[in-house]
Amino acid sequence: DAGVIQSPRHEVTEMGQEVTLRCKPISGHDYLFWYRQTMMRGLELLIYFNNNVPIDDSGMPEDRFSAKMPNASFSTLKIQPSEPRDSAVYFCASSQGAGGKTQYFGPGTRLLVL
Amino acid sequence: AQSVSQHNHHVILSEAASLELGCNYSYGGTVNLFWYVQYPGQHLQLLLKYFSGDPLVKGIKGFEAEFIKSKFSFNLRKPSVQWSDTAEYFCAVRATTSGTYKYIFGTGTRLKVLA
């Protein structure tokens, strides 16, 4: 298995632009998680899905952030418009089973908003 | 609110020294506990986890952690570190709240092992 796949690996954009991050979970996993990692705040859970349905989005910082999971093998995290304070590493993770136990992380997308 | 505290933000050790990284959580219900490691330039990997049973959990690469329920702690230990253990270590808690699961990570501890 290729593991969790994220694209792009690096993204540099200018303030105000739309940013879309993509994630392909491990096949057969029914939970998908989006995290943001910054020096100041560490690793924060933004949102997670179970069977493509958003379960808890209380970690999404504001309305500029949105996430979708149109099918079991694809999810997107969109920031519109982006701001410099959104600069961070965004991780996607997936897990299998009721409640989702061990999470497998993707390599992350390093986002820099100028 | 649930929270996870990692008290040491940076730790520097010489090779062969013993390691203990502290992790305390704040939650009164049932929890599952994890330690993840992130090596330079790599993504997060699971080091070990505790769900139930023996509170002393052994993980990969000689790491272990002890769950002490009365202290709400899950400290990570290794008797003798190696240069290759240089990484960032994250403690995480999975807590059940109103039928949904919350995954809460600590802010991480950066370990640097000097050769």
A83-101: per-residue pLDDT in tens?
999 999 999 999 886 554 6
Q: How far apart (Å, rounded) are the C-alpha atoms in residues A63 and A42?
A: 21
> Residue B15 carries which DSSP code?
T
Which residues does residue A38 pair with via DSSP β-bridges, in sequence order?
A42
Query: Which residues of B fall within a CB distance of 8 Å from A108?
Result: 43
pLDDT band for position B95 (50/70/90)?
confident
pLDDT at B37 over 80: yes
Residues 72-101 of chain B with CB under 8 A from chain A are 90, 92, 94, 96, 100-101
pLDDT, residue B104, reads 84
pLDDT of residue A20: 96
State yes or no: pLDDT of B16 exceeds 90. yes
Strand partners, B74: B67
Name the pLDDT band for B54 (thresholds 50, 70, 90). Answer: very high
pLDDT band at B107 (very low <50, low <70, confident <90, very high): confident
Cβ atoms of residues B18 and B78 within 8 Å: yes
- What's the pLDDT at A100? 45
- Asked if B52 has any chain A CB less than 8 Å from its own CB, the reply is no
Please tell me the distance from the alpha carbon of residue B91 to that of residue B46, in angstroms, as a whole number: 10
The shortest C-alpha distance from B107 to chain A (Å) reads 4
Helices (H) and strands (E) in chain B, counts: 0, 12
For residue A67, give every residue at least 6 positions away whose Cβ sits within 8 Å of its Cβ, in sequence order, or none. A34, A46, A47, A49, A54, A57, A60, A75, A76, A77, A78
pLDDT in tens, A31-77: 999 999 887 888 889 999 999 999 888 889 889 999 999 999 999 99
B103 to chain A nearest CA, in Å?
Answer: 7
For residue A12, list its beta bridge partners.
A112
* pLDDT score at B89: 95
**Alpha carbon of A80: minimum distance to chain B alpha carbons (Å):** 26
How many whole angstroms separate alpha carbon B37 and alpha carbon B47?
6
Mean pLDDT for B81-98 is: 89
Looking at chain A, which residue has its C-alpha nearest residue B31?
Answer: A101
Mean local confidence (pLDDT), A96-111: 78
Dump strand ranges (E) for A14-99. Answer: 19-24, 31-38, 42-50, 53-56, 65-71, 74-79, 88-95
Assess whether pLDDT exceeds 90 at residue A18.
yes
Six-digit token pair at B23? 């992790």
Q: How far apart are CA A34 and CA B63, in angstroms?
A: 27
Contacts of A35 in chain B (CB under 8 A): 105
Q: For residue B1, what pLDDT is reported?
A: 67
